[in-house]
Amino acid sequence: MNSATERDEMRRRFFDQAAEDWECRNYPPETRRRTEDLIAELEIAEGMTILDAGCGRGILIPMLRERAGPRARLIALDSSASMLAGVADKDSRALALHARAEHIPLLDDYVDMVVCFSAFPHFSDHPAAVREFHRVLKPGGTAHVLHLASRETINRHHDMHHAVHGDHMPDESAMRAMFAGAGFIAVVLREDADRYCFSARKNGRLT
Ligand SMILES: C[S@@+](CC[C@H](N)C(=O)[O-])C[C@H]1O[C@@H](n2cnc3c(N)ncnc32)[C@H](O)[C@@H]1O
């Protein structure tokens, strides 16, 4: 195994082992409320097809369902099977995909929105994941990389844990270059101490 594959494997084991009590440990009511506020800022329309990339136990799924309605197609993707197992309990209609963000098993131009919450730094090949976000989005669709802290805080937090040490959020210029390189336009970053929201659009109009 090369070192990138070993790191991926270590990360996958870490998230598999963390899955069972993930929500109790990471989503007390106040954090859940802040997450809802973050999702409320997205332009989600009734009936959208939305991909949650790096969904974990599916914390976002009920929030996305509430906003996109009963007809929406929600797709939850994660590389950890134990994490993904939490999704069915939350929403039996959501599609759970056991896959990596770098190889998304969806057709081209399939989803209206990609949401990637607290997961992007853990993807081992950021440019490949961004290219996949662009490929699976319909023209006019949007991708959103979201966190409940600033980039600096996220990076410091990951460096405190052996399994995710070095899983960093790239800086703004690297993110802009990566998304522009994949073909995205209208890139916007809003960041303060309590949140990081990077958004970009695939050229065209949603139909
Ligand atoms: C910090 S957790 C966040 C999970 C969820 N979004 C949440 O906020 O509860 C990061 C998630 O990314 C997943 N992950 C890591 N690398 C991945 C990859 N290459 N492709 C898909 N998911 C990945 C992990 O298995 C884990 O569930």
pTM of the model: 0.97
**Assigned domain for 207 exists:** no
- Residue 124 domain flag: yes
Number of domains making up the chain: 1
> pLDDT of 41-91, one tens digit each?
999 999 999 999 999 999 999 999 999 999 999 999 999 999 999 999 999
CA–centroid distance, residue 112 to ligand 1 (Å): 21
Q: How confident is the model at residue 4 (pLDDT cuts 50, 70, 90)?
A: confident
DSSP-assigned letters across all residues of the chain: --HHHHHHHHHHHHHHHHSTTHHHHH--HHHHHHHHHHHHTS---TT-EEEEET-TTTTTHHHHHHHH-TT-EEEEEES-HHHHTTHHHH-TTSEEEE--TTS--S-TT-EEEEEEES-GGG-S-HHHHHHHHHHHEEEEEEEEEEESS-HHHHHHHHHTSGGGTT-PPPPHHHHHHHHHHHTEEEEEEEEETTEEEEEEEESS---
Pocket test for ligand 1, best of 63, 74, 79 (most atoms within 8 A of CB): 79
With pLDDT > 70 as the criterion, what percentage of the chain qualifies? 99
Residue 51 belongs to a domain: yes
pLDDT of residue 2: 66
**Residue of 7, 8, 15 best suited for mutating to test ligand 1, as the one with most atoms within 8 Å of CB:** 15
Q: Is 59 in the pocket of ligand 1 (CB under 6 A)?
A: yes
State the residue range of the domain holding 68.
3-202
Q: Mind listing the pLDDT tens digit for each residue in 133-167?
A: 999 999 999 999 999 999 999 999 999 988 899 99
Note the pLDDT of residue 168: 96
What's the CATH number where 24 sits?
3.40.50.150
